[in-house]
Amino acid sequence: MMAPWNAPVFITRVWCIFEIFTAHTTDACKVDIVMPPKEKRSLELEVINDDGGINALYKTLAKTKVENANASVESDRLAILDWVESDVGCSTLNHQVNDLLRQWMLAVLTELVETRENTNDEDYADFCNQVGVILKTNGEYGAAMKLHQTARTICETVLGKDHKETATTYSNIGSVLFELGDYEGALSKYEEALAIRFSAFGKNHPSVATSYGNIGCALLGIGDYDGALSKHKECFAIQLSALGRNHPDVADTYGSIGSVLESMGDNKGALSKYEEALSIYLSVLGEDHPGVADIYCSIGSVLESMGDCDGAFAKHKEALAIRLSSLGKNHPDVAETYGYIGSVLEKMGDYEGALAKHKKALVISLSALGKNHPFVADTYLSIGSVLESMGDCDGAFAKYEKCLAIELSALGKNHPDVAETYRYIGSVLEKMGDYEDAMAKHKEALAIRMSALGKDHSDVAKTYNSIGVAQKKMSTPKDTATQPNRKLRTRLGSRRRSIKAVGEGCIGNTSTICT
């Protein structure tokens, strides 16, 4: 019984949680969740209320905490907790129950969309948009895209191509393309949205800022770091004066600027932006929100670059806990965190552990993102790197080639990530004694880096260094090549979740539920 829909009484009771978990994890049982019509209506209204629905959903789904739940009889509570702790553990149980609720909630929303299907009006388009955003943030990209396209068709027909609502649908389609790794496609949609917003709202409106921010994210994906930085700065200036500093959109922008600085090799600058973002998120969104997890993830990444593996590991653990409870175990953001943890473990010398994490990341990302996504490429690179550390050069080489093939088709041959992959291939070829091919790869890397990053970037220096080392080896082919310093590169999430605060109103009468 899902009531009230945003704070179900069921998940405050030990017996209920235990029963749902047991039924859910036993093949013989089918769990039916029901929601009173009044609750359904209230959920629907919440979803229409701009982005409120997403936040309310996150909050609801992070609420299962068997360790805090109660029972009428204290000895029952203790006995159940005893069993849980000796069996799956509290957090796994909580996540399983949350997963079940999430799947069900997404199904309810999809059903709500279907029941309104024959009303081809503006309201329906708006509803499609909102549900599409919720599906996207939950990693359901195909379904999200379908709804956004429906909304776009309606808006174009009913409101015209220059209307601000139509711009929103372009922007949303762009966001799904972004998640799918199609950064060029995303960029062109974001630009269409910007043009409309610019003439509809003027140049200082927050939604124009959002468009600049989106464009900045797409440019980062494409590998144009300077372009990305300047867009994020334009975005920031507008947001700061229109929204004030303590706004989640401003925090998003701090995070985005941090990501660009990190990509440019400025770790200290990145860290300070991430910390600004974190303090806003914590005060505005609370500590269980996925936005907070995103920032922990970014901080972990930059700490790893700065050589603080323990610090990085701790941050990724925090991110993982939030992502598992708010997004579920099959979400690409969870894969991203496994990737980071794997990369830290590799640095700490735990190769088996690292390999296991990267394989987990691969399974999730293949099914959530498809086999041609840049993150999948990156995961192959990570696996290759661990294999290389373990001394399996042939295995590593095969993975690097897989990574390169995906990157060439998804990102194009002039992307900085492609250069990085050439560097890996070059250094493993050196280890295998093939110095000429190694040199050729290093030179390809250098050419890309010089044109993408400029001659003063630290990565260009590194590439010169690799070439120097390779040249030396050709004359004295005895030393073993040094492996490039591994670091996950392709940031997954768009890091842009536009958010509105949600009222905690309880609707419905739940005092008679038997627990």
Ligand X SMILES: *[C@@H]1O[C@H](CO)[C@@H](O)[C@H](O)[C@H]1NC(C)=O
For the bound state, the minimum distance from the C-beta of residue 78 to ligand X, rounded and expressed in Å, comes to: 13
3-class DSSP state of 229: helix
Kindly state the tokens that stand for 89.
């553990």
- Contact range with ligand X by CB under 6 A, out of 192-200, 307-315, 443-451, 507-515: 507-515
3-state secondary structure 94-152: HHHHHHHHHHHHHHHHHHHHHHCCCCCCHHHHHHHHHHHHHHHHCCCHHHHHHHHHHHH
Chain centroid to CA 193: how far?
23
Triad 379, 374, 221: Cα angle to 5°: 130
Toward ligand X, which CB reaches closer, 241 or 509? 509
- Contact range with ligand X by CB under 6 A, out of 167-175, 325-333, 437-445, 505-513: 505-513
Any contact of residue 188 with ligand X (CB under 6 A)?
Answer: no
11-30 residues near ligand X, rule: CB under 6 A: 12
| Burial group, residue 326, by CB count within 10 angstroms (0-12, 13-18, 19+) | buried
Angle, helix 141-158 to helix 164-179, in steps of 10 degrees: 160
Backbone angles phi, psi at 307, to 5 degrees: 90, 5
- Contact range with ligand X by CB under 6 A, out of 67-75, 207-215, 312-320, 421-429: 67-75
Toward ligand X, which CB reaches closer, 64 or 343? 64
* One of 68, 283, 471, 485 touching ligand X (CB under 6 A): 68
For the residues of 290-342, what is the DSSP string, one character each?
HHHHHHHHHHHHHHHHTT-HHHHHHHHHHHHHHHHHHH-TTSHHHHHHHHHHH
Toward ligand X, which CB reaches closer, 458 or 509? 509
For the bound state, the minimum distance from the C-beta of residue 315 to ligand X, rounded and expressed in Å, comes to: 28
For the bound state, the minimum distance from the C-beta of residue 324 to ligand X, rounded and expressed in Å, comes to: 19
DSSP code at position 83: H
For the bound state, the minimum distance from the C-beta of residue 515 to ligand X, rounded and expressed in Å, comes to: 10
| Burial group, residue 185, by CB count within 10 angstroms (0-12, 13-18, 19+) | middle
Any contact of residue 511 with ligand X (CB under 6 A)?
Answer: yes
- Contact range with ligand X by CB under 6 A, out of 65-73, 240-248, 331-339, 360-368: 65-73
* One of 26, 70, 115, 199 touching ligand X (CB under 6 A): 70
| Contact status, residue 40 vs residue 110, Cβ threshold 8 Å | no
Any contact of residue 466 with ligand X (CB under 6 A)?
Answer: no
For the bound state, the minimum distance from the C-beta of residue 4 to ligand X, rounded and expressed in Å, comes to: 11
For the bound state, the minimum distance from the C-beta of residue 510 to ligand X, rounded and expressed in Å, comes to: 8
- Contact range with ligand X by CB under 6 A, out of 54-62, 63-71, 99-107, 323-331: 63-71
DSSP code at position 5: T
Toward ligand X, which CB reaches closer, 13 or 136? 13
The neighbour count for residue 508, using CB atoms within 10 Å, is 17
- Contact range with ligand X by CB under 6 A, out of 64-72, 82-90, 155-163, 374-382: 64-72
Any contact of residue 515 with ligand X (CB under 6 A)?
Answer: no
Helix residue ranges, H only, 223-289: 225-243, 248-263, 267-285
- Residues interacting with ligand X, by CB under 6 A? 12, 68-70, 509, 511-512
